[in-house]
Amino acid sequence: MYQFNYERPKTLADAEALLAKSDDPKILAGGQTLIPTLKQRLAMPSDLIDIGGIKDLDFIRAEGDAVMIGAATRHAKVAQSAEVKKHNPALAALAAGIGDPAVRHMGTLGGSIANNDPAADYPAACLALDAKIHTTKRLIEADEFFKGMFETALQDGEIIKEVTFPHPEKAAYMKFRNPASRYAMVGVFVSKGPWGIRVAVTGAGQNGVFRVKEMEEALAKNWSPDAVANIKLPAKGLNADLHGSAEYRAHLVTVMAKRAVAAAG
Amino acid sequence: MSVISMTVNGKPASADIEARTLLVQFIREQLGLTGTHVGCDTSQCGACVVHVDGRAVKSCTMLAAQAEGAEILTIEGLAPNGELHPVQAAFREHHGLQCGFCTPGMIMTAVDMIRRIPDLDEETVREELEGNICRCTGYHNIVKAILAASQEMR
Amino acid sequence: MSGAAREGIGQPVRRKEDFRFITGNGHYTDDISRPRQTYAYFLRSPHAHARIRSIDTSEAEKAPGVAGIFTGRHVADDGLGGLICGWTVTSKDGTPMKVGPHPILALDTVRYVGDHVAMVVAETLAEARAAAELIEVDYEALPAAVSLGSCQKPDAAQVHPEAPRNTCFEWELGNKAETEAAFAKAARVVKLDLTNNRLIPNAMEPRAAIGEYDKGSGIYTLHTTSQNPHVARLVLSAFVGVAPEHKLRVIAPDVGGGFGSKIFIYAEETACVWAAAKLGRPIKWTADRSEAFLSDAHGRDHLSHAELALDADGKFLGLRVKTIANLGAYLSTFSAAVPTYLYGTLLSGQYDIPAIYVEVDGVYTHTAPVDAYRGAGRPEATYLVERMVETAARETGIDPADIRRRNFIRSFPHQTPVIMNYDAGDYQASLDAALEAIDYKGFAARKSDAAKRGKLRGIGISSYIEACGIAPSAAVGSLGAGVGLWESAEVRVNPTGNVEVLTGSHSHGQGHETTFAQLVASRLGIPLSNVEIVHGDTDKVQFGMGTYGSRSGAVGMSAIVKALEKIEAKAKKIAAHLMEAAVEDITFENGAFTVQGTDKSLAWAEVSLAAYTAHGFPSGEIEPGLKEGAFYDPANFTFPAGAHVCEVEIDPDTGIVEIVKFVAVDDFGTIINPMIVEGQVHGGIAQGIGQALLEHGVYDPASGQLVTGSYMDYCMPRADDLPSFTLGFTKTVCPSNPLGMKGCGEAGAIAAPPAIINAVTDALGIRDIEMPATPARVWQALQSAAPRAAAE
């Protein structure tokens, strides 16, 4: 790792102030992606602003027809939350399948979506569940938030505070893990709710998470695995590497979508 | 450099360190507790697992500064009075280790797993070991040891 | 059962070494710190092949904390030799293998990504690493020969000018004319092209070293992660010239797994111990995992074409094989032996094959060196033989178990056409037991049940044999080895009767501290806790050859047996003197010396003490003390063999292969500690499953970059990739060593891959699939097979 300054503010206001006065800061949440990146010397921030000490960012609250989750809430906590399990079991299951148990004890919701790794799980949930991302500056719709590989709508100095997940009627996430890294090679989140029907795919696309309109339309007509069984994504634009061709990934999107619809019931 | 303080295996520990010091470096190099190992640089092998405030964490993927004020438990502190922890005893009884390098991380992960999940079965143990790599045992006896310890600790 | 019986030979004694490992009190090399130590970081080549025009270290030298920077120029100016290959293979035209130089640090050319360019030593590792970024190397990038299939073409880039067409040797074994004749009369010839995938060993403890120099005594000390510290010392002194052998101490403390990769003498530890004298301070280096991927010697990596000739009854008549074996950019310590004498000699498998002819081209590529990895040559041989036998069964319509039974060797000793003389075995016993355990008869029902659930089920057999306990020194010497492959032991009895056993074997997970102690305790009739096994330090232990090739039981323990016999003989003499009896009348049993036919008896501890008080020993007849050494040179290889059977279920939608059941029945001869032996089998099978389904070392064919350079892309077997295993044992005693042991460390890695691939291809209904049979490859195979199936 290169040298950096480390700050651990206690309040969001302090964090914002620190961000404003730093040359090239990075926000440290759980660190499960950022610290490996720093170790590989792939990033050289001047300051690390650790938001892990801000108590206000660590909460899960069910209110009305949505669950609100603080940005610094750990995956393990989401996975175990009675509120999340009750209202949004697909989200709890997704959180329970991120990384491994030790990673889930550190990694956070805010960190995952702010980083927008193309193989991360939470972006698929946000997109499929029509989530609202509240930041220190504004509210961003999930549809507007994810801008491509490792890119989001977040501006400099903007910190995610919480994410609102409206309750779905039906939802499920199915993931095909990369055999080596165990990240999502293809993850498909399907949902039915006030927003209609959504199908979000992570892991497969070269530009990160995306929705599959054709599947959404087919499921709107007929909510059943058969409805998506014959919908094949074009391989163009999908990742290809030693773990599988773009064609294989396209095929897996169909298989995982089918299985997700079946699991959602 | 700045001074950080935490409790390690029940004892206060404090040192003046660079911000970039990882928790595992603090434990191994500052405190000389070399039972916690480093087996990879991509946060996957789990040889470095310790408990931070009661939860299993990869100490190679956490800054020491992030653990300011925390309670850390390492393999050396698991059985401070010389008597083995049931998980340690089960690893020995069931030959759940060979070269021993992944073992401290495996044991710390297993203790955390048994704490969280009361009714472990083989499939769950195997899934829960996703973040711990062993090259010697083929996991067969590690799984056996964890299941036995889980029974024992019920 | 008495205490002694509970700790004796054949008992699953819990391991003596475990306490330190489960409490975090092991001492691996990186756990050790020396006063005033500095830290080394190696600047490595980013190119697969490049000329070094210049190296400018001036900025780096000024960086904070830097203690010294060393390049190939310093090494050359100091007159240091290069690294060596300790086995010379001769080509079929009679010429010796063509060896390019293997410098400690590159002088003017780099030959693989990760090749060593400079060593930076600083007060901290972070400072060394930061300084390394300031070194300016002017590279002239050159085309690289990366792929095994094309590296021998005339237009391929050259790795070493000494080896035209990148060919190090063109070796042959067997009888060509007889094999041609066998094929001429064959009723059927089965042909297959096979790939044995490149593997990266990945012992969980990365390699590490601490070099030190004591100016007063002129003694160098090297702590290092070695499977064979004495061999390291010999190479570093006799060939590299770091220090005279008696001025160099090599210590291999607790070592976290080896699997072959820690046999070899590498550049890093050599540079650390050499430069420690230049700096006058200890130098510590520990690989991170990324460095391990780049610079540990890799394993396997063969391309083969094989043909098997059969008569009308399915009897094998002849086998001919052409293999291209990757050696990487430089010859590593034993690399030439692996695809030749550890491979070609096992191509008869468990079968009576009258004629065999094999040709192996050992080739250089711009990739990391390839050397022994768990099994070393024997997994490649077994894979080839068992895939051929399976394919023959399918093509002849004979049941795969039956075709094996028809061809098993049944009388011993059996001389194969490829050097080996099998001494004992009962191959059908292992196969029958394995088939019983997996319920072979019930497979058809399980397959049709799986089909109803939309799954493809397959079963695969692997009847393997390996040659272990390497090996008679005269035999390996005649085949090109630069060393003898005996083992040593010294048994030191202390005045209080407890015992230290110094062994040249090295334990890095195998449990020698327990198994060896079981042997000694049961022979001497003393508690296990009174025996200490000492290994891994050239200052303590007499010369020894180390641990690899499943040799520590058969060879290492045989040396201990020899030493114990001498101890017993001398102790009897002392007892006879003390009890005033004739030595012929003394019996030694359960730790007591008794004068036959009398009630006169002395305990072990009494005789031990007497050996050191030495009061009244008849002068010239009995020397004081009780310490004996022995060197044991085996009379033959040993031949562990058995049958592994695997049943898989494939999800055709995803291509995921699930191992539903894995049965291993092995014949290891005498077993000292079944618990430890089972653990060895488990670990071997896991690595075999890794090779068959998960692991693959991949270089980009154009750039020569290592694509699988971390656990993000190199797929290590995890707990949820594997099933629990079902093990069984059969036993034929090995006649060539005193304990009847054969060795067990590599069996799983040797036997498992063909069992799995036979099962996968059975499930898919295809001839072959390349390892690893990843979900993507399985799915692709199904896509290619589907139109054909539909057309049938």
**What's the pLDDT score for residue C791?**
43
Calpha distance A131→A69 (Å, rounded): 11
Considering the domain C3-25+486-632 in this protein, what is its CATH number?
Answer: 3.30.365.10
Neighbours of chain A (3+ CB pairs under 8 A): B, C
| Three-state secondary structure call for residue C631 | strand
Chain C contacts in chain B segment 72-101 (CB below 8 A): 74-76, 78-79, 84, 88, 91-93, 95, 97-101
Query: In this structure, what token pair is assigned to residue B66?
Result: 């992030």
Residue C792 has pLDDT above 50, yes or no: no
DSSP code, position C718: P
Q: Return the pLDDT at C789.
A: 47
Rounded to 10 degrees, what is the CA torsion of C631, C637, C640, C646? 120
pLDDT (tens digit per residue) in C509-540: 999 999 999 999 999 999 999 999 999 999 99
- Domain positions in chain B: 2-77, 86-152
pLDDT for C2 equals 63
Inter-chain residue contact A242 with C694, CB threshold 8 Å: no
Place of tokens 């079981």: C518
Considering CB atoms only, which of A1, A179, A241 is closest to C775? Answer: A179
Top CATH class, C299-471+636-791: alpha beta
- The CATH classification number of B2-77 equals 3.10.20.30
Cβ burial, residue C247 (10 Å; 0-12/13-18/19+): middle
Task: For C412-432, write each residue's pLDDT tens digit.
Answer: 999 999 999 999 999 999 999
> Residue B26 and residue B36: Cα distance in Å, rounded?
11
How confident is the model over C242-259, as a mean pLDDT?
Answer: 97
Closest chain C residue to the Cα of A184, Cα to Cα = C712
Task: Kindly tell me if the per-residue pLDDT of A224 is higher than 70.
Answer: yes
Q: How confident is the model at residue C352 (pLDDT cuts 50, 70, 90)?
A: very high
Give tens-digit pLDDT for C176-185: 999 999 999 9
Q: What is the DSSP pairing of strand A47-50 with strand A25-28? A: parallel
What is the model's pLDDT at position C7? 85
Which tokens is C692 given? 């068959």
Tens of pLDDT, residues C466-479: 999 888 898 889 89
Pick the CATH number of C35-142+207-286 from 1.10.10.10, 3.20.10.10, 3.90.1170.50, 3.40.47.10: 3.90.1170.50
Q: Which residue of B has its CA nearest to A39?
A: B41
Q: What angle (nearest 5°) sits at the alpha carbon of residue C259, between those of residues C256 and C265?
A: 85
Q: Which residues does C91 contact at the CB level (< 8 Å), separation at least 6?
A: C97, C169, C170, C171
| Integer Cα distance of C191 and A179 in angstroms | 32
According to the model, what pLDDT value does residue C482 have?
87
> pLDDT value at position C471?
82
DSSP annotation string for C234-266: HIIIIII-SS-GGGEEEE--B----TTTTTS--
Parallel, antiparallel, or unpaired for β A132-135 and A139-141? antiparallel
- pLDDT bucket at B82, cuts 50 / 70 / 90: confident
Instruction: State pLDDT tens for residues A97-108.
Output: 999 999 999 999
Same fold, C35-142+207-286 and C299-471+636-791: no
Residues 153-192 of A with CB under 8 A from C: 176, 179-182
Is the ipTM reported for this complex over the cut 0.95?
A: yes
What are the boundaries of each domain within chain C?
Answer: 3-25+486-632, 35-142+207-286, 299-471+636-791
| pLDDT value at residue A253 | 98
Q: Position B119: which residue type?
A: D
Convert the pLDDT of each residue in C681-728 to its tens digit: 999 999 999 999 999 999 999 999 999 999 999 999 999 999 999 999
Do residues C164 and C157 lie in contact, with contact meaning Cβ atoms separated by under 8 Å?
no
DSSP string, C179-211: HHHHHHT-SEEEEEEEEEEEE----SSPPEEEE
Task: Judge whether B132 and B46 are in contact, CB under 8 Å.
Answer: yes
Average pLDDT of the residues in C570-593: 95
Mean pLDDT of chain C: 96
> Would you call C169 an interface residue with chain A, using a CB distance cutoff of 8 Å?
no
User: Hey, what are C709's tokens?
Assistant: 């350079």
Tell me the average pLDDT across A128-135. Answer: 98
Q: How many alpha carbons fall within 13 Å on the CB side of residue A216?
A: 18
Q: Which residue of C has its CA nearest to A255?
A: C653
Domains of chain A by range and CATH? 5-166 (3.30.465.10), 170-264 (3.30.390.50)
Interface test with C, best of B50, B140, B144 (most C CBs within 10 A): B140
User: Does the pLDDT of residue C451 top 50, yes or no?
Assistant: yes
Q: Do B55 and A105 touch (CB under 8 A)?
A: yes
pLDDT of residue C786: 66
Whole-number Å distance between alpha carbons of C227 and C203? 12
Nearest to C733 by CA among C743, C724, C741: C741
CA distance C351 to C671: 25
What type of residue sits at position C482?
G
Cα separations (Å) of C271 from C86, C231, C278, C284? 20, 17, 11, 10
For B86-152, the fitting CATH number among 3.40.190.10, 1.20.1250.20, 3.50.30.10, 1.10.150.120 is 1.10.150.120
- CB of C775 within 8 Å of any CB in chain A? yes
Task: Render the burial of C558-579: b for 16+ CB within 10 Å, e for the rest.
Answer: bbbbbbbeebbebbbbbbbbbb
The burial of A30, by beta-carbon neighbours within 10 Å (0-12 exposed, 13-18 middle, 19 or more buried), is given as buried
Burial of C677 (0-12, 13-18, 19+ CB in 10 A): buried
Angle among Cα C662, C664, C668 to the nearest 5 degrees reads: 165
Rounded mean pLDDT of C206-221? Answer: 98
pLDDT of residue A231: 97
Selecting from C653, C655, C713 the residue whose C-beta is nearest the C-beta of A180 gives C713
Q: Which of C31, C205, C510 sits opposite B34 (nearest CB)?
A: C31
Task: Map residue C747 onto helix, strand or coil.
Answer: helix
